[in-house]
Structure 1
């Protein structure tokens, strides 16, 4: 079953606990947290106290995407916060493989992300065999509500082929402009984890679950 990961960047921050509880009982979903530092990307979002509170209150696994210049710091300071997946950017570190190995000591799942202009061949075979998830950005990281970039399809297909040839087991996650208009094609290309923000949250709370299911019901 495809995992759907609603991005909390698009939720109502002033009522975040009711927002979380609106997804109780939904199967095969994570909550996606876009964590930005104002340096790696121009925006600034969740700080440590909010991340810890969300992880504590969440009825689902928390998937944290760190768009930061120093993921090593966050990996250490949030190791007891209860996050399920920790994704950092290939472009942010010099030695991704060493960081993956370090993060795996404290997180059940470790992912790596690439920006739209970063080709998939920058991800070495060793990295792909080590990670649990590869996040393909289908928008420029930093802001929600952007339009989907079709170049992501080729990246997903390439990663699926490499996953098969390497006999690796990483999930292929895509984030940015995901809606019911492209979900089917993304899944057919090889994506098995879809991040959706505006599409899910820009509706009434009682419709959130329907929005989730629309992304995997064809």
Structure 2
């Protein structure tokens, strides 16, 4: 069952061998792939099917041209229906740091900002923690991992590696993002790493073998005839990949 308890917050350091096994395997369905006319119903369905958290993509039509979804009022309405669920809001908006107080007010558990859209990601991370929010740093496919980014990423609770260009569901997983995951895992052996985009049981295993422990999945969950089995198979894929990582 999804709960509002915070995921493991960790920082860089420690031994790589065995550390990944201490990180929880977590599957977060993206309700954007569900029936948007029944968001509360779709949210409840995946919670009952065993989701670890709910992923909510918030697009403003500006940062990704033409991509609009829903705003804070909708998330607040969902929170009223599901007071204990862990809500992971992915802000694909211009100047996402300006939404932090509102995200706290509407009951978000974790907010994820895009490195590419945030003027001062480090300041945003500190501000979020001051508000009692978990915070993630999302990396679009074109963003390269360098020393500057790594120093910023250390301040965040989770790093989200986009495995498709942000904007629209149903895209194919980009295997060329796997080296980015490996690089992050080698630097941050105990930090939560999330993937989002084209995630299926097969690609979840590939991502976990490269270091991921959390996966966002939309189409592969909501387009399945059996939600519980779909989530179980995604979790199994992550577990298989994690074992591969530990043996490497």
Give the 3 Å change call, closer, same or farther, for CA 188–178 of structure 1 in structure 2.
same
CA deviation profile, 1:78-102 (whole Å, cap 9, x unmatched): 2211111110011112311011101
Contact preservation (8 Å) 1:2, 1:28: no
Matched, 1:46 2:70: yes
Match 1:61 to one of 86, 94, 117: 86
> CA offset at residue 159 of structure 1?
0.5
Point out where structure 2 has 5 or more consecutive residues left out of the alignment. Answer: 1-23, 238-248
| Equivalence for 1:7 | 30
Give the 3 Å change call, closer, same or farther, for CA 10–126 of structure 1 in structure 2.
same
Match 2:140 to one of 87, 104, 115: 115
Give the 3 Å change call, closer, same or farther, for CA 99–39 of structure 1 in structure 2.
same
| Equivalence for 1:185 | 206
Matched, 1:155 2:180: yes
Contact preservation (8 Å) 1:112, 1:134: yes
Contact preservation (8 Å) 2:185, 2:191: no
Match 1:211 to one of 189, 207, 230: 230
CA deviation profile, 1:52-99 (whole Å, cap 9, x unmatched): 112332352000110111212211222211111110011112311011
CA deviation profile, 1:10-37 (whole Å, cap 9, x unmatched): 0111122221221345556110011111
SS at match of 1:88: strand
In the alignment, the residues of structure 2 paired with residue 35 and residue 155 of structure 1 have an alpha-carbon distance, to the nearest angstrom, of 24
**Count of aligned pairs between the two proteins:** 212
TM-score, normalised with respect to structure 1: 0.91
Give matches, 1:132-171, under 5 Å: 132-164=157-189, 169-171=190-192
Larger RCO of the pair (alpha carbons < 8 Å, separation 6+): 2
Give the 3 Å change call, closer, same or farther, for CA 32–24 of structure 1 in structure 2.
closer
In the alignment, the residues of structure 2 paired with residue 28 and residue 22 of structure 1 have an alpha-carbon distance, to the nearest angstrom, of 9
Matched, 1:30 2:53: yes
> CA offset at residue 182 of structure 1?
1.4
| Equivalence for 2:108 | 83
In the alignment, the residues of structure 1 paired with residue 230 and residue 134 of structure 2 have an alpha-carbon distance, to the nearest angstrom, of 26
Contact preservation (8 Å) 2:103, 2:111: no
Give the 3 Å change call, closer, same or farther, for CA 153–28 of structure 1 in structure 2.
same
| Equivalence for 2:13 | none
